């Protein structure tokens, strides 16, 4: 987010330990108490979220997003990289074969992330200016934008694993807003007053629970996907002013990884989002998390030191650190379809980095606009999008 927006949000921190849901479709069930309770026994583990596509390989939730496993949904989509800018409020379009900027157009005020739709048919530029905000749809067959859809405070965008709702992370208002993803009419809202700077989300392997980062509260919350009720809250313990960011389920579904910019590393939670289980130091300003196409490595961008840490996803141990020559501010991005390149926005340097995932070599820097943030590399392998800059299963 922009530094001015960060200051404004920090000034609105509230700490009551409850969440409330506003439903237009009827009353919500009784809220489960917030706690750091232990994981339920295996016999109590819930079934998959109804309507969620089955995983063909239970050992790797991202197995359908292997190298070049492009689905029919993305047939005919142009091979392009889209870069949103929070300061210049535009989108730069890059040809990944020439590394040249080939187009530019408005992306909405405070354009934060570019998010693939659940069915992979549309890319959305999420803009979060308050008051205001919206979604600019991009047709990936042409690479061109459509008319902006007015949606309030879209800092980030996700989709429930059954595809039923588009879930807007309304950061300023400490809310998750649920929309019909075809009409973009709001269906319900869930407010979390103790989650100042509500930020990034990922879902358990069964889709039943989401783990949500609270950037300005030094905490995480677990939320029931169906009822939108908070199940648990976790206060993070490695920094008194922690700033949790990207949140990702590991390929084997056994852990969540949470990058924390002020703790300078990655928290580990169990795959059911019931408890914190560890911490992995990576580097200053740990921010974004991406997985290799074979699921064996995690790439963590350390924004404040210009490096990328590589973790073994089986042992959860660091195996390498790649330093950007001359420094930089690697933020959000994604892998190429073949997995051979990692593309990251240089948030405070007005550039994009392209990194060889075999050896960490910086292939090139591409000058772009002011405040590049959550870029997307397109098309991506996989069957359906859970949101952000390409969390695809």
Q: SS3 of 109, please?
A: coil
Which of 39, 138, 120 has the alpha carbon at shortest distance from 84? 138
Check if the beta carbon of residue 348 is closer than 8 Å to that of residue 325: no
Taking residues 4-33, report their average pLDDT: 41
What is the band of 5 on the pLDDT scale with cuts at 50, 70, 90? low
Range of the domain at 101: 3-26+52-378
Q: Give the pair of three-digit tokens for residue 147.
A: 């008319």
Q: Is the pLDDT of residue 31 over 90?
A: no
> Is 33 inside any structural domain?
no
Residues 36-91: tens digit of each pLDDT: 333 433 333 458 999 999 989 989 999 999 999 999 999 999 999 999 999 999 99
pLDDT at res. 128: 97
Q: SS3 of 313, please?
A: coil
> Is 303 inside any structural domain?
yes
> Is 247 inside any structural domain?
yes
CA–CA separation, 352 vs 338, rounded Å? 19
Q: Give the pair of three-digit tokens for residue 41.
A: 């026994």
> Is 392 inside any structural domain?
no
CA–CA separation, 137 vs 143, rounded Å? 10
CA–CA separation, 130 vs 92, rounded Å? 23
> Is 337 inside any structural domain?
yes
> Is 108 inside any structural domain?
yes
CA–CA separation, 385 vs 393, rounded Å? 7
Residues 356-381: tens digit of each pLDDT: 999 999 999 999 999 999 999 999 99
Q: SS3 of 200, please?
A: strand
Residues 230-270: tens digit of each pLDDT: 999 999 999 999 999 999 999 999 999 999 999 999 999 99
Structural domain count, the chain: 1
pLDDT at res. 353: 99
> Is 238 inside any structural domain?
yes
CATH code at position 209: 2.130.10.10
Give residue for tokens 């439903």: 23
> Is 386 inside any structural domain?
no
Which of 147, 31, 123 has the alpha carbon at shortest distance from 73? 123
């Amino acid at each position: 987010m922009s530094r001015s927006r960060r200051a404004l949000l920090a000034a609105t921190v509230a700490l009551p330990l409850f969440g409330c849901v506003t439903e237009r479709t009827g009353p919500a069930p009784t809220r489960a108490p917030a706690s750091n309770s232990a994981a339920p026994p295996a016999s109590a583990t819930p079934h998959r979220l109804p309507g969620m596509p089955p995983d063909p390989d239970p050992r790797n939730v991202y197995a359908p997003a292997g190298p070049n496993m492009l689905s029919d949904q993305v047939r005919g989509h142009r091979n392009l990289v889209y870069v949103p800018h929070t300061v210049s409020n535009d989108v730069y379009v890059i040809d990944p074969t020439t590394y040249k900027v080939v187009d530019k157009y408005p992306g909405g005020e405070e354009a934060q992330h570019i998010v693939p739709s659940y069915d992979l048919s549309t890319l959305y530029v999420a803009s979060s200016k308050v008051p205001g905000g919206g979604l600019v749809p991009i047709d990936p067959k042409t690479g061109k934008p459509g008319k902006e859809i007015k949606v309030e405070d879209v800092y980030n965008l996700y989709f429930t694993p059954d595809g039923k709702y588009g879930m807007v992370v309304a950061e300023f208002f400490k809310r998750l807003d649920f929309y019909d993803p075809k009409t973009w009419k709001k269906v319900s809202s869930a407010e979390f007053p103790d989650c100042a700077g509500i930020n990034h989300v990922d879902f358990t392997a069964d889709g039943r629970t989401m783990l949500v980062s609270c950037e300005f509260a030094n905490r995480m919350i677990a939320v029931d996907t169906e009822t939108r009720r908070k199940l648990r809250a976790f206060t993070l313990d490695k920094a008194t002013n922690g700033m949790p960011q990207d949140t990702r389920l590991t390929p084997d579904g056994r852990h969540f990884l949470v990058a924390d910019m002020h703790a300078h590393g990655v928290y580990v939670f169990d795959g059911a989002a019931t408890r914190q289980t560890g911490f992995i130091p990576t580097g200053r300003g740990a921010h974004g998390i991406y997985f290799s196409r074979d699921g064996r490595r995690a790439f963590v961008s350390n924004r404040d030191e210009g490096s990328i840490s590589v973790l073994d996803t089986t042992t959860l141990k660091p195996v390498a650190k790649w330093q950007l020559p001359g420094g930089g501010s690697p933020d959000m991005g994604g892998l190429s379809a073949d997995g051979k390149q990692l593309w990251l926005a240089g948030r405070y340097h007005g550039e994009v980095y392209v990194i060889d995932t075999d050896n960490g070599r910086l292939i090139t820097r591409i000058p772009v606009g002011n405040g590049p943030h959550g870029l997307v590399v397109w098309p991506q392998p996989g069957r359906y999008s859970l949101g952000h800059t390409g969390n695809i299963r």
